Structure 1
Amino acid sequence: MFWPGTLLGLLAGWALASIPGALLGGLLGQVLDRRLKVRTWRGLLEHLRGGPQVGDRELLFLLLGRLAKIRGRVHDAHIQQARAEMLRLQLDDSARRQAIEAFGRGKNGGEMLEIGLRQRRGHEATAEGLLLACWRMAWAVGAPGSAEKQLILQWGDWLGLSRARIQALALGAERTKPAVTPRESYTQALRVLGVTPDSEPEDIKRAYRKLVSQNHPDKLEGLGASPERIAAATEKTREIQAAYLLVRQRRGFR
């Protein structure tokens, strides 16, 4: 295992006071490594810089990529769920490309996940939004396994959320199943959005944005709604997102 602070302390101590300095410097460096929990030069640099070095959106898709890969391979349902999150955030083309790149990097994990999460301790709204999206990804291919659950619980701990809150967020995704998928009826998707086959793309987009705004679970969370109401709103939002994805693909607009 590589400990950058320890090596840095050894070198600095040796330069200042030969062997005794190296021993003291190595000891102090090891204390720094253990306290910051870093194992790479990049990780040490990020800690010393202070402040988030990865944006909320980038961190989200890093986390989703890690979850998607934890079962060994990424399934089509994982990709669809990542796309649904992009739709939920209403990302433009440039932001979508960045999200896809972060999703790919996230599959390899890395300590940047821990650093990014720990830097968001105390930012409750951001923390809960990240974990709620993670639970949705965990349910993308069926009931989450122990690996997914343990990973999300660990992330919640790093974010400073209680286990009770983490489990409450899980309820917002546990019963979430897309009511419309590419294999289902195009007509059904149109009904979900409240549009017709002749509706213009801009009208469909407006209908989608209005429905998401009306049913978004984050609003209920801010109002202190019960976990059951939040779960129902999450399910409805995902239904709307899946319907919009299908209609958009069928009609060929972005």
Structure 2
Amino acid sequence: MIWPATLLGAVIGLAVASIPGALLGGLLGQVLDRRLRLQSWAALRERLLPGAAQRDEWLLFVLLGRLAKSGGRVLPAHIQQARSEMQRLGLKAEEQRQAIAAFARGKTGRDSLRGPLQRQQARAEMLLRACWRMAWVDGQVDAAERELLNLWGKWLGVSTAAQAQFSDAYAPPRGPLVSTASNAYQRALNLLNVTADAEPAQIKQAYRRLLSRHHPDKLAGSGATPESVREATEHTRELHQAYDLIRQRHGFR
């Protein structure tokens, strides 16, 4: 942990008034560090540089980008889920462009998130629910995703019990798709309406057709209820899972 204002105060004080100045500068800097919760140089830059501060309204998409990249590779399902969140929030074209830029920035992992999150405790549930939806979009939450979510929950002041409730709300239902490998594969084939001997081109075509038909973006502007959007999002996630399983079994990209 680095106390940037403490170090800067000590250095400036040393230059101005030797050792007594360094002690006084360090003491004043420590007060500033504690009051502003500055624990890194990045946090100090957020306070001092106008362009470095995180715009709170796009913080959600920075978080989603960080989550999507935490496993090493951003999947199409992650991108679709980010678009679903834009739809859920009713973002217009320019707002969507800014959200996409925030998502891309989140993938770099360069942003210091502790300060921005601590300022967003009033929106904690909304942020974490969206993050759990993203984490579960590929059907599982890996260790890196869970570690991030637990850390963000701590900074947002959310209890472990509440985090478990958010996770359970978006975990895929237990059923035949995950009961055994053979049952999962057969259900995936049924979901895409293809046979085990189908060619890769046929499987891809069936997947894209169903994805286009059932994607929640299709509900945009139709006055659909939140429940309908959620059902469409769930069905889209099942299609992603089914296609990934079949693709891996058949060995094509």
Shift of 1:77: 1.6
Task: List per-residue Cα deviations over 1:8-41 (Å, max 9, x = no partner).
Answer: 211332255312221342355356546724311x
What SS class does the counterpart of residue 112 from structure 1 fall into? coil
TM-score where L is the length of structure 2: 0.67
Name the counterpart of 2:224: 210
Provide the rounded CA distance (Å) in 1 between the counterparts of 2:234 and 2:73. 25
8 Å CA contact 1:6–1:29 kept in 2: the answer is yes
User: Which letter maps to 1:189?
Assistant: H
| Contiguous gaps of at least 5 residues in structure 2 | 178-190, 193-205, 238-253
Task: List per-residue Cα deviations over 1:233-253 (Å, max 9, x = no partner).
Answer: x852624888xxxxxxxxxxx
1:159 to 140, 145, 156: 156
Task: List per-residue Cα deviations over 1:110-142 (Å, max 9, x = no partner).
Answer: 453111110122x1xx21111011011111222
8 Å CA contact 1:61–1:106 kept in 2: the answer is yes
Number of residue pairs matched?
204
Name the counterpart of 2:83: 83
User: Which letter maps to 1:62?
Assistant: V
User: Which letter maps to 1:89?
Assistant: L
Task: List per-residue Cα deviations over 1:187-214 (Å, max 9, x = no partner).
Answer: 9639x99xxxxxxx9xx6443x3322xx
User: Which letter maps to 1:127?
Assistant: A
| Contiguous gaps of at least 5 residues in structure 1 | 194-200, 217-233, 243-254
8 Å CA contact 1:38–1:111 kept in 2: the answer is no
8 Å CA contact 1:62–1:104 kept in 2: the answer is yes
Q: What is the percentage of aligned positions where both structures have the same residue?
A: 46
- 2:109 matched to 1:109? yes
Say which one has the larger Rg.
2
The 1:182–1:24 alpha-carbon spacing in structure 2 relative to 1, beyond 3 Å, is: farther
Name the counterpart of 1:169: 166
8 Å CA contact 2:58–2:102 kept in 1: the answer is yes
What SS class does the counterpart of residue 139 from structure 2 fall into? coil
Name the counterpart of 2:8: 8
8 Å CA contact 2:5–2:32 kept in 1: the answer is yes
Name the counterpart of 2:99: 99
